[in-house]
A and B are shown apart, each in its own frame.
Chain A
Amino acid sequence: DAGVTQSPTHLIKTRGQQVTLRCSPKSGHDTVSWYQQALGQGPQFIFQYYEEEERQRGNFPDRFSGHQFPNYSSELNVNALLLGDSALYLCASSLTPDTQYFGPGTRLTVL
């Protein structure tokens, strides 16, 4: 059983650019949540998608947006990148809002 997968593994962008990160949930899971983990800190909740709609959002600006597809996979988009957006972006999946299982993350570096 494949767990949560994320792509790409690493990404380097420059300030002002846009980035798209991708996540495939664990088999049978229909809910995807995204978290940002800055270096040396705990993950912070960005938003959660269920039935292709954003259901809950953390304290992140509108530059952060997402999408969920009919097969439950999800994308995280970040516009107008700032240096402070450099972080590990973690995707977690669950069956409805239940225990979340995390992927390996995408390391984003903004120069």
Chain B
Amino acid sequence: AQSVTQLGSHVSVSEGALVLLRCNYSSSVPPYLFWYVQYPNQGLQLLLKYTSAATLVKGINGFEAEFKKSETSFHLTKPSAHMSDAAEYFCAVSTSTGRRALTFGSGTRLQVQP
């Protein structure tokens, strides 16, 4: 079985500041890791994914994440926050043994202050 823990249900940053959203996972087999973003009253949009290739993954809208096996982490970062980044962010894990069914964290709401 796998699980995801997202530290911090709410994160607030100033426009132009670094964004860091934390995700730790638990998996008994090699994981696939994902970050999705959800804007109000919308579905989930894939930001980036790790599928056992490069450990530093670049995604859309300037986001990136680094897979650290020793720390079982997959934190999401963006060097400079923009007002349009305000949304809910979900980290998710899946495995090849589970037909890639996603297990999600509880989400982190990102606020960007002007």
Interface residues on B, range: 20 to 34
Give a binary string over A6-31; 1 marks a CB under 8 Å from any B CB, 0 the rest: 10000000000000000000000000
Q: Report whether A90 and B43 are in contact in the complex, using a CB–CB cutoff of 8 Å.
A: yes
Nearest chain A residue, comparing its CB with the CB of B96? A97
Give a binary string over A86-111; 1 marks a CB under 8 Å from any B CB, 0 the rest: 00001010100111111111010000
Instruction: Identify the B interface with A (CB < 8 A).
Output: 4, 34, 36, 41-46, 49, 51, 90, 92, 96, 98-107
Q: A43-B104, A97-B96 are in contact. List 17 more A-B contacts (CB 8 A).
A: A4-B43, A42-B106, A42-B107, A43-B90, A45-B101, A45-B103, A48-B99, A48-B101, A56-B101, A97-B99, A98-B100, A99-B34, A99-B46, A102-B43, A102-B46, A103-B43, A105-B43
